[in-house]
Each structure stands twice: as C-alpha cells, then as structure tokens.
Chains A and B, each alone.
Chain A
Amino acid sequence: DAGVIQSPRHEVTEMGQEVTLRCKPISGHDYLFWYRQTMMRGLELLIYFNNNVPIDDSGMPEDRFSAKMPNASFSTLKIQPSEPRDSAVYFCASSPGTRRNTIYFGEGSWLTVV
C-alpha cells in the first residue's frame, strides 16, 4: 500500500514568494495532519482535518499560513508570503482513526526560504 505522499520533497524559495505544499493521505484514512519540525520545538501540530473538515487550527502560526482539504485524497498547506523563519521540514500525516492515536507520516517537504 502506498503511504502518505508529499510534494515537493525540497523547495527553495525567496522571501515573499508563495509556497504550496501538497499531500495525498493513505486511502481510507479519515484524519489528516500537518506538522512542522524545527530544532527548537520539535514536531509542532499546525492543523488537522477529520473527513475533510478542519478540526483544530490553533497551531497555525500566522495568517500567512492556510490549509485546505478539498477532498479525501488531497490537502494543501500554503504560506503567503513566505519568510526565512518558515524554513523547516513540513510533514503531512494521516490516520484511520481506529487504532488509538497511531498516525502515519509522509517523508516530509524540506522548505528553505532565503
């Protein structure tokens, strides 16, 4: 079975540009999560969806960040405008919601804003 698929794997962009990260969750999973990994804070939950509906976006750092899930097989995380402090690894993860709290991560999108 295919795991969580993220794209792009690596992105280098200039400050002020729009960045869009994409995610395809595991088929049949009802929950989708966006996490950000930094050295200082580890893995931070940005937002998560249940059945395509945003449930908790309290971790989204600023209005520059937005996330959508138009259907069960696709989600985007957008940063506009991007800033150097947004440089991090962004992980998408999904969960079937049946086995308590076990979520499955993608390989991550490495974002560098210069």
Chain B
Amino acid sequence: DQQVKQNSPSLSVQEGRISILNCDYTNSMFDYFLWYKKYPAEGPTFLISISSIKDKNEDGRFTVFLNKSAKHLSLHIVPSQPGDSAVYFCAASEGAQKLVFGQGTRLTINP
C-alpha cells in the first residue's frame, strides 16, 4: 500500500518556466517531508525539506509547499534550468529515521 504517491511519472517544462511537482500521502502521522533529486547512475541526493508545523519552505529556486488538510505537498522550481532535469522523489516520515518514498517523477527541462 503506497503511503506516498507521485501520480505523474513524468513532466516536461520549458527552460525558464516554473516546474511544479506534486506528491500526496495517506498517513496523517507523517510529520516531516523531503524531496530528493536523482540523476542517472547516481544515488538520490537531498534537495529540500519541510516540517509539518510549516506550510512553506524556500531555498533559492526551490520552494516546497505543504497542505496538511489535503495531505498534499508540492515542489516548485523557478526558473527551471536544464540541470534540473532529473527524477524527483517525495519522501515522508513519522518521527523516526525511516523515510517512505514515492515512485518518483522524471522532470525534463527543454531548452
């Protein structure tokens, strides 16, 4: 049973525009959320995180939004750059070190 779902397997965005990646979760006990980025033939790397006590966290071009009532979070990348082309994984946890990941969304930035 997928507790963290990324319903869009892929997304294509023009360079310079905004990329919006979405993630839904079912476990209301999750209290910490993260986004990881993965390039081909490499392991995932941490990108940005947000605690459940917040609804927004920003780091440069990356912003994560959390809507607890809808059990939904999103990652905004603006402006999108070619180097942002990668697979993005959403992850969540409930107080422990254990992370539950989604299926991933492949983002392609077109020049």
* Given A42-B89, A102-B49, A106-B43, A97-B97 contact (CB < 8 Å): yes
Stretch with Cβ within 8 A of A (4 or more), from B58-66, B78-86, B99-107: B99-107
Stretch with Cβ within 8 A of B (4 or more), from A14-22, A43-51, A66-74, A77-85: A43-51
The main secondary structure of chain A at its interface with chain B is: strand
Instruction: Give the contact-size bracket for chain B.
Output: 20 to 34
Option from A4, A31, A41, A56 in Cβ contact (under 8 Å) with B103: A41
Pair B43/A101 contact, Cβ less than 8 Å: no
Pair A105/B44 contact, Cβ less than 8 Å: yes
Residues of B within 8 A of A41 (CB): 2, 103
Return B42 CB to nearest CB of chain A, in Å: 6
* Given A50-B97, A102-B34, A42-B103 contact (CB < 8 Å): yes
Q: How many A-B residue pairs lie within 8 Å, measured between CB atoms?
A: 65
Return B106 CB to nearest CB of chain A, in Å: 11
Option from A31, A43, A95, A108 in Cβ contact (under 8 Å) with B101: A43
Pair A48/B98 contact, Cβ less than 8 Å: yes
Residues of B within 8 A of A108 (CB): 41-43
Most-contacted residue by chain B among A31, A103, A108 (CB, 10 A): A103
Residues of A within 8 A of B32 (CB): 100-101
- Complex CA distance for A7 and B33, rounded to whole angstroms: 30
Q: 7 tightest CB-CB pairs across the interface, nearest first? A: A105-B43, A42-B103, A43-B101, A101-B93, A31-B97, A42-B104, A105-B44
Query: Could you write out 22 A-B pairs with CB less than 8 Å apart?
Result: A4-B43, A35-B101, A41-B103, A42-B102, A42-B104, A43-B44, A43-B91, A43-B101, A43-B102, A43-B104, A45-B100, A91-B43, A101-B32, A101-B91, A102-B46, A102-B49, A103-B97, A105-B36, A105-B44, A106-B43, A107-B42, A108-B41
Kindly list 13 other residue pairs between chains A and B, CB separation below 8 angstroms, not including A43-B104, A45-B101, A102-B34.
A31-B97, A40-B103, A41-B2, A42-B6, A42-B89, A101-B91, A101-B93, A102-B49, A105-B44, A107-B41, A107-B42, A108-B41, A108-B43
